[in-house]
Structure 1
Amino acid sequence: MNPVFAAAMAGSHSTTGIEAGTAFTQPRPADTDKRIPSRPGFSPVRLRTLMKLAVERTGLDLSELTVLTEAATGAYAVTAVLAAMSGAKHVYALAKAGRHGTVADAKQETLELAAPLGVADRIEILEKISPEVLCNVDIITNSGHLRPLTAPLIAHLRNDAVIALMFEAWEFRREDLDIEACARRKIPVVGVNERHPAVDVFSFLGPLAVKQLHDCGLAVLGNRIGLLCDNDFLVPLRTGLASSGASVTTFDSAAAVHLEGWEAFVVALQPAAAPRIGQAEAAHLAACAPAGAVVVQFWGDVDRAALARNGFSLWPTQPVGQGHMGILLSEIGPEPIVRLQTGGLRAAEWVWRGGAVTRDGFAQLVPWQE
């Protein structure tokens, strides 16, 4: 998920939002790397166990294929290693320095994760991408260090190459890749069905929203929550909040909210050209809620200044990248990241091998032909 979602990672995964915009491509707090690696749930041993289970569940088989993805830190270090352990004959992994890690950090974490699996020799860490690399790959992932996938880059891909979106097709963001260039080359852009039983990332959305509310100081249990959601995140978010004891009422827009004793509004609105909550929407929400209500930005862009002018506290406190999620998927552990990355590769592999795209299958297509 850019939105979507959008994410999640405890490492150096680039933030263009939307871990992941995708909804799941997401911004990261500066202290992420200092905090996550010490958590036992993110240990390399456990990551490898989760990876093996995910490959087994999905049936990911990249044998004889060449993959171009990113080399990252934290939970996103799994991506290149998943490709190699699934039989890819060669994996190119682009590393970039950033506030979450250096090129050396990304290389070390990726190869240390790969070495005990016996696949480190098939992963080549790159600091730049040459045309020679591009014309050799079968699958290229829409990962943070690779974005944006520009028209010149796409022009060097082989005719049978496939782009793995790494989240659901409806979460596609035009700023991530040049969809017109893909249309000209007839290169499929493949989303992953995050609700497929073998992937099931959507089941983590509810616990993720609960975590976000807990972090901002709301117990969830017994609280009145207005859930603003106009997309497929609705059911898992509502279920997760309600199962934790919240009284949840859902609205498909800010304008639909009515007067009530809301403790918080959780915003999960599909990103658009303008913020989904601007001055008019913020004023309406303020008229519907008592003083002290909080606006929690799960996904979807909001006018922070407008909300502040209308007396709201906003969580997270730091601005969220356009189209990105307001919380990292990895805040509740590496499982959703491992599942999402494995599913994204599996969906691309399915299309590359000529599998039919069905409603209940792994793969979805971004409709560049329209």
Structure 2
Amino acid sequence: MSRALTETLLDLSGLTVLTEAATGAYAVTAVLAAMAGARHVYAFTRPTRHGTPADARQQTLELADSVGVADRIDVLEQITPNILHQTDIVTNSGHLRPLTAALIDELPREAVIALMFEAWEFRPEDLDMEACLRRGIPIVGVNERHPSVDVFSFLGPLCVKQLHDCGLSVYKNRIAVLCDNDFVGSLRAGLASSGASVDTFDDVQAVYRDAWDAIIVALRPGAEPRIGSPEATHLAACAPAGVIIVQFWGDMDRTVLSANGLGVWPAAAPAMGHMGILLSEIGPEPIVRLQAGGLRAAEWVRRSRTVSPDGFAQIVTRPPDPAFADSH
């Protein structure tokens, strides 16, 4: 965490942050903000499948105490208007989502929302974009490929971990990567460096018949599952019986995949629009870097600094796809 703060030059002095108190690697967010000199950090928590509010409180405050910042973190189970009125940065964190119009309307006009991932990955269900546009509150993505953040480089090892979990060696495996977004280079490099034979495709219909050991799905989520009945039929025709369809990112109709004789991994479906494996599965390092980068991007915009293509910050300026316009 100290290394991430040094590399990103994160400085939250004079600013108040509203984020989450969470468990595991995600306990770092509130603590990073306090370590970066935030005037105060409000960390909201609620019950989830990852732990109870008591678990989140304990893990967050124990970590904070170990670096001497516990006195500047309040763990909350209720967010009052008074807290919102003094908040400079709100993070788009799991316990806080969705960020509603009612919450956004209570924020100061100079507040910013930290998306905590790249702008193009924006999910309309996470927060009320119309409320942000109406209030003039920026939604700030983080450049995950900035040298001081460099989270994209962890995507390849993360995909390798996912394949190991489903019983594949990766080494000497024949793997198709179905990817229509900026993840493709990192995924291909990570798999190839582990000894896989890899071909990439940006469309399901482009996948050809081969002795695939696995087909990685890393498709940007849409209004409907990216792998439905027609896609499942095509993939089944292109691969040996029982080949594993690995859900890295992008929603899939698991019923039709199974009906076509295809295996599906992970065994439990992730939430709609979410990744099939968390970055924390390969340790805290990528989470620490991502959270520090997300806070740094928000700080950059909050302090009215210029946003540039090679900098930390990215601004979500408009709906990313027609599905958003159709649903609002």
Report the TM-score when normalising by structure 2.
0.96
Alignment of 1:191-270 (within 5 A): 191-270=141-220
Contact (CA 8 Å) 1:263, 1:292: kept in 2 or not? no
Question: Following TM superposition, by how much is the alpha carbon of 1:153 offset from its aligned partner in structure 2, in angstroms?
Answer: 0.7
1:157 to 107, 110, 117: 107
1:284 to 234, 238, 248: 234
Aligned pairs, number? 320
Counterpart residue type for residue 46 of structure 2: K
Q: Does residue 178 of the first structure (1) align with residue 139 of the second (2)?
A: no
2:289 to 339, 344, 351: 339
How far apart are the structure 2 equivalents of 1:368 and 1:131?
A: 28
Alignment of 1:48-67 (within 5 A): 51-67=1-17
User: What 5-or-longer segments of structure 1 have no aligned partner?
Assistant: 1-50
How far apart are the structure 1 equivalents of 2:291 and 2:319?
A: 26
Percentage identity across aligned positions?
A: 69
How far apart are the structure 2 equivalents of 1:130 and 1:167?
A: 26
SS of alignment partner, residue 175 of structure 1: helix
Q: Does residue 96 of the first structure (1) align with residue 35 of the second (2)?
A: no
The match for 1:366 is 316
Report the TM-score when normalising by structure 1.
0.85
Alignment of 1:297-308 (within 5 A): 297-308=247-258
Counterpart residue type for residue 308 of structure 1: S
Q: Which of structures 1 and 2 has the larger relative contact order (alpha carbons within 8 angstroms, sep 6+)? A: 1
Contact (CA 8 Å) 1:196, 1:360: kept in 2 or not? yes
How far apart are the structure 2 equivalents of 1:152 and 1:272?
A: 26
Contact (CA 8 Å) 1:183, 1:369: kept in 2 or not? no
SS of alignment partner, residue 176 of structure 2: strand
The match for 1:309 is 259
The match for 2:269 is 319
Counterpart residue type for residue 262 of structure 1: W
Contact (CA 8 Å) 1:183, 1:368: kept in 2 or not? no
Task: Indicate the RMSD between aligned Cα atoms, in angstroms.
Answer: 1.0
How far apart are the structure 2 equivalents of 1:111 and 1:223?
A: 44
Question: Following TM superposition, by how much is the alpha carbon of 1:98 offset from its aligned partner in structure 2, in angstroms?
Answer: 2.4
Question: Following TM superposition, by how much is the alpha carbon of 1:253 offset from its aligned partner in structure 2, in angstroms?
Answer: 1.4
Contact (CA 8 Å) 1:180, 1:368: kept in 2 or not? no
How far apart are the structure 2 equivalents of 1:326 and 1:162?
A: 29
SS of alignment partner, residue 185 of structure 2: helix
SS of alignment partner, residue 198 of structure 1: coil
Question: Following TM superposition, by how much is the alpha carbon of 1:259 offset from its aligned partner in structure 2, in angstroms?
Answer: 1.1
Q: Does residue 357 of the first structure (1) align with residue 310 of the second (2)?
A: no
Counterpart residue type for residue 213 of structure 1: L
Question: Following TM superposition, by how much is the alpha carbon of 1:292 offset from its aligned partner in structure 2, in angstroms?
Answer: 2.5
1:120 to 70, 93, 97: 70
Question: Following TM superposition, by how much is the alpha carbon of 1:369 offset from its aligned partner in structure 2, in angstroms?
Answer: 9.0
How far apart are the structure 2 equivalents of 1:343 and 1:154?
A: 22
**Comparing 127-136 and 93-102, the one that deviates more:** 93-102
How far apart are the structure 2 equivalents of 1:115 and 1:319?
A: 36
SS of alignment partner, residue 200 of structure 2: strand
How far apart are the structure 2 equivalents of 1:278 and 1:183?
A: 34
